[in-house]
Amino acid sequence: MLEGVLVLTPTRERGLQVLSLIQELAQFTDISCCQADGELSSKVQEAALRSKPIILLQKAFNDQLPNSMFVDFKDLDVLILDEADRLLEVGFSPKIRKQVCLGPKRRQTMVFSATMTTKLDELVEMSLTNPVRLSANPSAIRPATLTEEVVRIHQMHEVNREAVLLALCSKSFTSKVIIFSGTKVAAHRLYIIFGLVGLKAAELHANILQGELDEHFALERKVDFLIATELLVCGIDMPVAKAVINYDCPSQLTSYVHRVSRIARAGREGHAVTFVTDNDRSCLKAIAKRVGSKLKSRTVAQKSISNWSQIIEQMEDKVSIILQEEREEQALRKARMEATMVFITAIF
């Protein structure tokens, strides 16, 4: 039976980050740590759990762990909900939620979150007894070293948005930049375009295979630009990130706070630039209310936008060829997997 610590994280990537930090801090102790993420076989996972380690559990695997004979939530000493607001957003398992609320009173429960929402307040009220709230910066949520700007995209044609981004990344923000895309398709297209124009970038989204994801997780410190969707990047830490560019404006203020909170840490300066259209008025109003008079409007030179628009237009054939080659490779990979399954089925 487990008598130790359970850490719940919203994604595998966030779990890897926490795992790495715990292993570094505990390297000269008898503390062991295990990540239960569903990627390993059940036998391998159970073997790791026998040593009663600190367990890091991602959301996608949270329905399986409570059924394990090696884990009993009733005997947990410490339960940690990391990025709790994210856990609720991506679909917090009712089974885990029940265990959180009905656990033993002697257990210590810690809830970490960048934002406080109504749902999170309800979870805290149900799961914690006489909770103590600690704020990393109670006097000012917004760092004084953070510069926040908006770029208005007046024309909805996608190539103009891409041209504005390249204009910024080739001149104003040239290294250690996190670019948030609203979709994985757009993120991948940007990754291809950045590569074609010679900008060192890595991509992070749901279409990347697990092996590629691990590679990108190790690579993100070596590139100038990390192009990612919001959910996947929550597990990534770029301690030297200088800027965040919201290529797509977030739909909610909480998402915006999560994004920009990755920069201007520990007294360092940071820039957050958000692309906004007429459809983003509600979120823009919320951002303006939060930032106040310090929210600035950035203008990108039309000449630079026009130059990059022409370059992108000239690259369209290359982009199409790359995408087609990728589709063919994916189809070939799928056919090989299906053939392997047929072969295995025939043998057994």
Cα 107 from Cα 96, distance rounded (Å): 15
Is pLDDT above 60 for 213? no
Q: In what order do the strands lie in the sheet with 108-111?
A: 33-36, 54-58, 5-9, 78-81, 108-111
Range 190-204 average pLDDT: 94
Cα 290 from Cα 99, distance rounded (Å): 36
Range 182-203 average pLDDT: 94
Looking at 159-163, 238-242, 257-261, which range is the least confident one? 238-242
Range 245-268 average pLDDT: 88
Q: Which residue segments constitute the domains of the chain, with CATH numbers given?
A: 5-127 (3.40.50.300), 146-325 (3.40.50.300)
Range 114-140 average pLDDT: 74
Question: What pLDDT, on a 0 to 100 scale, did the predictor assign at position 101?
Answer: 67
Looking at 88-92, 213-217, 219-223, which range is the least confident one? 213-217
- Residue pair 249/281 in contact by the 8 Å Cβ criterion: no
Looking at 52-61, 103-112, 177-186, 211-220, which range is the least confident one? 211-220
The three-point CA angle 181-182-183 to 5° equals 95
Is pLDDT above 60 for 166? yes
Higher per-residue confidence, 188 vs 330: 188
Looking at 13-27, 159-173, 205-219, which range is the least confident one? 205-219
3-state SS class at 42: helix
Cα 38 from Cα 62, distance rounded (Å): 9
Question: Does the pTM exceed 0.85?
Answer: no
